[in-house]
Amino acid sequence: MSDPIVSIKGITKRFPGVIAVDDVNVDIKENEFFALLGPSGCGKTTLLRIIAGFETPTEGAILIDGEDMSVTPPNRRPVNMVFQSYAVFPHMTVSDNVAYGLKVVGTPAAEIGPRVKEALEMVQLDHLGERKPDQLSGGQRQRVALARALVKQPKVLLLDEPLSALDAKLRESMQLELARLQQTIGITFIIVTHDQDEALSMADRIAVMDKGAITQIATPEVLYEQPNSRFVADFIGKVNLFDGTVTGAQGKAVKVDVAGLGSLAIPHDSEASGKVSLAVRPEKIKLSKTKPKAGLIATSGKIADWAYYGNTSHMYIETPDDLRIAVNIQNESRDTVDHVDIGDTVWLSWRPEDTLLLAE
C-alpha cells in the first residue's frame, strides 16, 4: 500500500466536561474519497478542524504527506477547508472571489488568471466568472466556495457538511458532481456528514463515529452488509434488531434464543456468548401467504402499516409476540404478495445467513 496522505495518530480532544474526539487512529490514502459519518455531536467537525489546524488536539498527532503537523499553522498546511456555510464575498465577482486567496498570499499576477480559470472550469462555472454571488443559485454559490478551495491546489480538501444547505434534489446531483470532481482532479477529499446516503453514495471508505470514537471503518458495501455493531447496523440504512441470548454452538453456527422467533442457528465466524443482537435488513425478508419451507427463519404476523413509495413499499408486520418487523417489497414483484392488505395475516421468512449476529 502507498504511504497515507493523512495519518491521524491517537487523536483525543477534550473540552471542559466533554471528550469530543476519543483516541482516533486512521490512515487516509492518496486520492481517496473518505467520509466521517456519525450523528450530530459525535466529534466530526472537531476532528476535521484538528486536521486543518484550527483546533489543537489534547493528545496525538496529525501527519500530512509524512510530515508531523503539530507546529504547522493552518495556512501552512497543504489542506483547504470548505465550510458548512460557504462563505463567499457578496460584493466581489465570482472570479474575484476565487482569486482572493491567491492574492493575499502574493501569487504573481500572471499566474492568478489562468489558475482562476482552471478552478472555475473544474466546477463548471467558467461562463459565470463576472457574476456576483447574489446572481447565482445555491448550488452555484456552493461551487464558488469549492473553486475558492481548489484554486489553492491543496493535497487534501476538507469538506464539513458541504451540501447541508441545499434542498434534497440539488443535494443528490451535487453528490454525484462532487464524486466526479474528486475522481477527475485526483486529490484526497475528506468529507464530514451526518447523512448516511451522502456518505454511501460518494465515499470510497467511511469511518462511522459514535461519541468521539470510531466504531468501524469500511467501504459502503461492507458497512451495510457486515456492520460490526448494533450502532453501525442501526445508523447505516434500515434494520430489524432482535434481542437474543446465546445458548450454545452447533457446527459453524451459534444457537440463539429470541423471544417470538424461537431457537435459531445463525452462521457466525467467531465465538459468541451471553446477550447479543440479531440484525436483518428489511429487503432480505420475504412475505408469503403460506407457511415457508423448513430451514428458513419464519414467523407469522399481521400487516400493521404499509407505506407506498412508488418503486417500493415498506410494510410493518406485528407478531403475536409483540415483535414489529419492517419488510421492504419491490412493487415490481408485488405479484408475490398480491391480494394482501393491512390487517391480513402473512408469513415472514428469511435465510439464517442473512441474519447478522452482533455483540451488544
Q: Whose Cβ is closer to Mg ion: residue 45's or residue 95's?
A: 45
Residue 319: φ, ψ to 5°:
-95, 165
* Range in contact with ligand ADP (rule: CB under 6 A) among 39-47, 150-158, 182-190, 245-253: 39-47
Indicate whether 40 belongs to the interface with ligand ADP (CB under 6 A): yes
What is the DSSP code string of 295-359? TSEEEEEEEEEEEE-SSEEEEEEE-TTS-EEEEEEEGGGGGGGTT--TT-EEEEEE-GGG-EEEE
Indicate whether 215 belongs to the interface with ligand ADP (CB under 6 A): no
Q: In which residue are the cell numbers 440479531 written?
A: 278
Indicate whether 43 belongs to the interface with ligand ADP (CB under 6 A): yes
Indicate whether 62 belongs to the interface with ligand ADP (CB under 6 A): no
Q: Are 179 and 198 in contact (CB under 8 A)?
A: no
Non-local (6+) Cβ contacts of 67 within 8 A are: none
Q: Which of 76, 187, 90 is nearest to 144 (CA)?
A: 90
Instruction: Pick the binder of ligand ADP from 28, 33, 34, 45 (CB under 6 A).
Output: 45
Instruction: Pick the binder of Mg ion from 7, 45, 80, 240 (CB under 5 A).
Output: 45
> Which partner from the list ligand ADP, Mg ion, none does 239 bind, CB cut-off 5 to 8 Å by kind?
none
C-alpha cell at 56: 489543537
Q: Are 358 and 274 in contact (CB under 8 A)?
A: no
CB of 130 to ligand ADP, least distance (A): 36
Instruction: Pick the binder of ligand ADP from 7, 24, 33, 44 (CB under 6 A).
Output: 44
Instruction: Pick the binder of ligand ADP from 3, 15, 85, 260 (CB under 6 A).
Output: 15
DSSP state of 60: E
> Which partner from the list ligand ADP, Mg ion, none does 42 bind, CB cut-off 5 to 8 Å by kind?
ligand ADP
CB of 63 to ligand ADP, least distance (A): 21
Binding residues for Mg ion, rule: CB under 5 A, are 45
Binding residues for ligand ADP, rule: CB under 6 A, are 15, 18, 20, 38, 40-46
